[in-house]
Amino acid sequence: MNIGKIFFSSLMSILFLSTSHMMAQATYDVKKVNENVYIFTELWDADANGNCGVVIGDKEVLLINSMMLASAPDLEKEIRKITDLPIAYVINSDSDTFNHHANAYFADRGAIILSHEKMKYANAYHKVLFKDKISIVLGHEVVTAYHTPSHTLDHIDVHLEKSNVLFMSDGFQPHWLTYTGPNGLKGVVNGIDKAISLSDEHTLIVPGNTSKDPKHYFGNKQQLIRNRKVYIQLNHRVVDLHQKGFTVEEIASDERVNDVIKILEAYPDKRPYLEYYIEEILTMATN
């Protein structure tokens, strides 16, 4: 399967999830970080779930990722269970559909949509665009969204300085690897390095697409460090074997390749999809 087929598969998953949301009410696991910060994990009818964040200020609310349009009314109702304050801001992590599909829904209700400037090239509703970073003070919390080269050209991470929470969306998964995107290994490693510099042993790292298993909904600094090492070792081994004439199938069966990634918790379930990730590594390495 090539990258085009991966995109098609992802599109089919989006259509399936969007349709399923139209047929059933969206449900959430809600993690209360403190009185002002919550993480909503939307429980999908698929092999993953999705995280978004809610920051409550003195007079208004900020939403990190608007999720799918079909589930927006349910998400709004869930937020209303913890606060009656208006949703004044929505920050988009990147142009992946789950991060922006309900932008217009919340904009129609008064929210300012904040995205990286390259979101203007995506099929996404956008309003306020920024280049490098933007900070918003909500009550005692400072919310800083900053551009990273991970996963997509318009990707950002969102740092909650006071609460010690870092939303990395599709730039990180604690239990498996995420597709590195157009900036390849350098991009994803640079994104992880920035996250490591902002983290300590207590930082809560929040991915976008996450596990069905609640113990893998969130990550930590040690997993950032571990995954950084895995990305580098895996990329180097895959490129080396490719240069020696190995096929994608042969690389996926290589003992050293599997030794590198088997320390990731999702390895037993995700092992059959390793070839797709290898194809992306080789695509980025040869461009």
DSSP state of 214: G
C-beta of residue 70 within 8 angstroms of C-beta of residue 98 = no
pLDDT of 11 reads 45
pLDDT of 22 reads 45
Collapse the DSSP code of 35 into the 3-class scheme (helix H, G, I; strand E, B; otherwise coil) and give the result: coil
pLDDT of 160 reads 98
C-beta of residue 171 within 8 angstroms of C-beta of residue 192 = yes
pLDDT of 97 reads 93
| Residues ≥6 apart with Cβ < 8 Å to 28 | 40, 41, 42, 43, 74, 75, 78
pLDDT of 2 reads 46
DSSP state of 206: E
C-beta of residue 142 within 8 angstroms of C-beta of residue 126 = no
Among 123, 23, 124, 10, CA closest to 70: 23
Three-state SS sequence of 48-112 = CEEEEEEEECCCCEEEECCCCHHHHHHHHHHHHCCCCCCEEEEECCCCCHHHCCCHHHHHCCCCE
C-beta of residue 102 within 8 angstroms of C-beta of residue 72 = yes
Per-residue pLDDT of the chain (287 residues; tens, 9 = 90+): 344 444 434 444 454 454 444 447 899 999 999 999 999 999 998 889 999 999 999 999 999 999 999 999 999 999 999 999 999 999 999 999 999 999 999 999 999 999 999 999 999 999 999 999 999 999 999 999 999 999 999 999 999 999 999 999 999 999 999 989 899 999 999 999 999 999 999 999 999 999 999 999 999 999 999 999 999 999 999 999 999 999 999 999 999 999 999 999 999 999 999 999 999 999 988 76
pLDDT of 7 reads 43
Q: Which domains does the chain have, with CATH numbers?
A: 3-286 (3.60.15.10)
pLDDT of 223 reads 98
Place of tokens 């992946």: 96
Extended strands (E) in 97-196? 112-116, 128-130, 133-138, 141-147, 156-160, 165-169
- Residue 13 CB neighbours (<10 A): 17
d(CA 6, CA 2): 6
pLDDT of 24 reads 73
Place of tokens 């740092």: 159
pTM of the full structure? 0.91
Q: What one-letter code names the amino acid at 182?
A: P
pLDDT of 58 reads 96
Q: Where on the phi/psi map is residue 58: left (φ > 0), alpha (ψ -120 to 50), or beta?
A: alpha
pLDDT of 284 reads 86
pLDDT of 231 reads 97
